[in-house]
A and B are shown apart, each in its own frame.
Chain A
Amino acid sequence: MLTYLGYLFIVLGMVAFIISAIGLLRMPDIYSRMHVGAKSPTMGTILVISGAICLEPTWALKLLLLGAFILLTNPLSSSVIARASHKAGVPHVNPKDIDELRDYKEESQ
């Protein structure tokens, strides 16, 4: 029973990864790509890790630590990349998009 639950989790994680890969190909500019490339891989990794915990319950502690580390680092790296590309002046595909960082900078100047 636990085995089948584990396989179900892993397959769901793979689906999340595939959706993120399709999104990376189809999204127009770097900010929306960042959105796709950060959120669904985190979800997929968490699902695969929970599947692995169901398959091998003795590894639970190490795998939970791994999941916590990924939850910490994955959003951080994508936010840093998005901020760096904003600073480098990568344009939006639609200039009328809401850009709160630009508004904040204009206010503070």
Chain B
Amino acid sequence: MGSEDAEDQREGGRELMTDSEVLLQQVIIGLSNGMIIALIALGYTMVYGIVELINFAHGDLFMLGAFLALTIAGALGLDAVSEGALFSWGILPMFVAAPIFCGGVNWCVDRLAYRPLRNAPRLAPLVSAIGVSFVFLNIGLLWGGLPMEVFNMGQTAAAPKDFPALVSNENLLGESDITLTISQVLVFVITVPLMIGLSVLVRFTRLGKAMRAVAQNPVAARLMGIDVDRVIGATFIIGGALGGVASVVYALYNNTIYFQMGFRVGLDAFTAAVLGGIGNLPGAVLGGLVIGMIRALTDQYIATEWTNVMVFAVLILVLIFRPAGLLGTHAQEKV
């Protein structure tokens, strides 16, 4: 929309958005944000389900994925899509590279930082995870300082980076007051099939069966001839890859990335995983959507100042009445 349109709307005396339109708009926004959170929450919950480790580095891994995507955009010289075009094909290499990269890095982290501590007291890998998170954070800071045009020639390493609008932000509904952009549609088009694919994998494949077995009882699984370390490694790869996809979706939707984004988004995702019942896949998705919705509705109907308070208030309420989370059951159906 050009600025003339805005003038028309104001001066032409068009109605304000009706209450139901506003609600619908907030639902669209809440679900889009929630889907991204859900995708990251899956990474937390899968790893927890199988090794009972809260992988605090997952949020920062997600951040690195976004930096890789921006580096690709810079290397390919990609620019915002022109008017009328829906998206740039330049997003394809991102959707290939980021998951491979994040999955690979996550596997390495497990191999180097968590596997040696597999039989140590549970706090040891947790501290290790926090350490990895700091390492990633600083890698992100250094990465943002690279002398590339997209990183402002490295002059402002920590500044938020503009991610080119490779997916159009134009309103699909045209003149309507309700905004639904291609980038919002993309969030669903990418995340929903991934989630379905993941549950098919866990439920119906050999690997999925092995994962469920390891989650239930690693010792028994090993006795049955399952290579437990391989299965755990695969879980880290899948969880990381989902984080990688999420990072690209996030960057295309929000158009800004910065080295600290992993912390906040990671916190939301972790909260989502706990809310839904940590270790439970559909629970993580539900938790993500619930948090996205709480955020949107609080922004609209209460005040932005209360948004974070509301998210955690709901979390506490849920945990009081259902300590295992919305869909969680005790130790049974993990992963």
- Bound together: no
Question: Which A residues lie at the B interface, using CB under 8 A?
Answer: none
Question: Which B residues lie at the A interface, using CB under 8 A?
Answer: none
